[in-house]
A and B are shown apart, each in its own frame.
Chain A
Amino acid sequence: MAKPPDFNPLFQAEFTATLARLNAELEAAEKSVEPLLRRTPRHSWLSLAAHPDLSNAGALDRLAKLVTEYLNRDTTYALSLAELAVAVAEEMPDNSYPKAVMAQLRAHALKDLGKVLRTIARHEDAIDALLRAELLLEVHHGLYQDVVLIRLHLAFTYQEVDRYTEAFALIRECKQVFADYGDSRMVLIAGVTEGALLHRLAKYREAREAYMLLMLSAHPDLETEAALRKNIGLCCIELGDFVEAESNLLESARLYSNELGQPIEALRAQTGYGRLLIRMRQIERGIVQLKPIRRAFLRQGMPEEAGICALEIIEGLLTRNKPEDAERLARMVIAEFTRANLNNRAITALGYLTRAIGAKQASAPLVQNVREYILSLRTNPEREFLRRTTVSGSESEQ
């Protein structure tokens, strides 16, 4: 076949050689990386930075996959893997691959390190790693797709240190660029992130709009649809749109339970439905709905989720003017959290709530505040508890 007029044999040869080399490295890395890690004590991994089995793009790809695999299972192990990947990428001679590719490899290793550091709440270190990654890529005009991926991770991290304005700006930029690149999966991820941030900032109307837009335009898969419906339902509760809340929460629970086989997520959606019933002042129904969910979480060894569920019940009990029952339940949750060695800050906030209930000074907004605070500790375990008080119908933070 005749080559097109713009064909360049040297470029073509370089591309073919790079492709062949990469395929060979990927194949070799599948066999060599993990055995090498197993043979080497973890505290000595950094001494492997220049090891020939690791100094290539295939091994870095393997390490990146291992980081992802271990991120939610063993963060210490994931951190060691990510630190090793950064060391390997930095040790590789600059001429190992074309310049842009070297920048990509180093930046992606730093991005993975940033991801792990964010997961273990070392947010400032995570930001530092991600900014270093961004800097490596910025000089290469063809790597903007990689730049925006790093920026999305920066946005995730900025949220955790309350840098919301920067987070929003980055998310919106990323969403636009992903759309320009026709990357619908990343548009969806950026959109969900934007909705979640609005949700977290209690901008329920805007959050619901963001989620609904994604439902209509982003062709979410079933799992994303279930998550979007749960979030739309939760926003609708706060907006007093109980009819929409009910249909979305029930559909979310059904999808998780019947279509996706994710019983824990189904329980979370059902907890949302319990919250809806409490807010609709169908207190008894709400409590009847929530009690078995709480027991199910406890049976699953998930005391924090059970505690969140208990706080929904406590809100109902306070609304029903049963402070003694509410206080008893709050004390049980403190005991469960203490036994499970959960974050002391959560226990302190629960203690504050329990005392407020005992002093007849607790209200539904205070319970909601404690619940949101405990949830926020998952991503920011050092966050301080800000006690909100209701002053003439408006909330202020102390």
Chain B
Amino acid sequence: MKASNKPSVDTQAYELHFPRLVAVATSEFHIPKEEAMRLVHDLLVSSLFRLNPPGDLASSLDGALRTAAQRLAEARV
């Protein structure tokens, strides 16, 4: 959560980033669609509760998805 006491993600941002990130997760990281949707949803929900919001939400979510996908792949090996 940020200093202004408002979460840095809102419903509009959710609607904007959810499909975009699901598309990246499935096409780039080959995560099955259902799993990708759950992962992206969890990323967006957890970003509501982050103390230090990023300067650029899109970059932050992209980075979060990339690391999550890597960790997921590592966990599968």
Contacts and interface: CB of A to CB of B under 8 A. Distances in A.
Interface in B40-71: 41-46, 48-52, 54-56, 58-60, 62-64, 66-68, 71
Given A5-B19, A144-B64, A180-B63, A186 B42 contact: no
Contacts of B14: 12, 15-16
A30 interface: yes
Given A11-B41, A104-B49, A145-B60, A19 B23 contact: no
Contact of B7 (A19, A141, A143): A19
Nearest to A99: B42
Given A100-B45, A141-B75, A182 B55 contact: yes
Interface in A1-20: 3-8, 11-12, 14-16, 18-19
Interface in A90-119: 97-98, 100-101, 104-105, 108
A177 interface: yes
A11 B56 CA distance: 23
Contacts of B66: 180
A186 B52 contact: yes
B49 A22 contact: yes
Contacts of B23: 6
A30 B3 CA distance: 12
B1 A142 contact: no
B71 to A, nearest CB: 4
Contacts, number: 131
Nearest to A146: B50
Contacts of B42: 98, 100, 140, 142
Nearest to B53: A183
A100 B43 CA distance: 9
A338 interface: no
Most buried by A among B58, B64, B72: B64
Interface residues of A, number: 45
B44 A141 contact: no
Contacts of A26: 1, 5-6
A145 B71 CA distance: 12
Contacts of A64: 51
Contact of A143 (B46, B52, B60): B46
Q: Which has the most chain B C-beta neighbours within 10 Å: A5, A105, A143, A149? A: A143
A58 to B, nearest CB: 8
Q: Which of B14, B42, B46, B55 has the most CB of A within 10 A?
A: B46
B54 A16 contact: no
A127 to B, nearest CB: 20
Contacts of A146: 46, 50
B68 A104 contact: no
A70 B71 CA distance: 37
A6 B52 CA distance: 29
B51 A108 contact: yes
A19 B50 contact: no
A167 interface: no
Interface string A222-248: 000000000000000000000000000
A142 B39 contact: yes
B46 A100 contact: yes
Nearest to A111: B51
A184 interface: yes
A61 B1 CA distance: 7
A7 B19 contact: yes
Contacts of A22: 1, 7, 48-49
23 contacts: A4-B19, A6-B18, A7-B18, A12-B15, A15-B14, A26-B1, A27-B5, A30-B5, A61-B1, A61-B51, A100-B42, A100-B46, A108-B51, A140-B46, A141-B68, A142-B42, A144-B71, A145-B63, A177-B63, A180-B63, A182-B59, A183-B59, A185-B55
The 8 closest A-B pairs by CB, nearest first: A182-B59, A181-B63, A4-B19, A144-B67, A6-B19, A141-B68, A11-B41, A141-B71
Given A180-B63, A182-B59, A183-B54, 4 more contacts: A19-B7, A141-B71, A142-B43, A145-B63
Interface of B: 1, 3, 5-7, 9-11, 14-15, 18-19, 22-23, 33, 37, 39, 41-46, 48-52, 54-56, 58-60, 62-64, 66-68, 71-72, 75
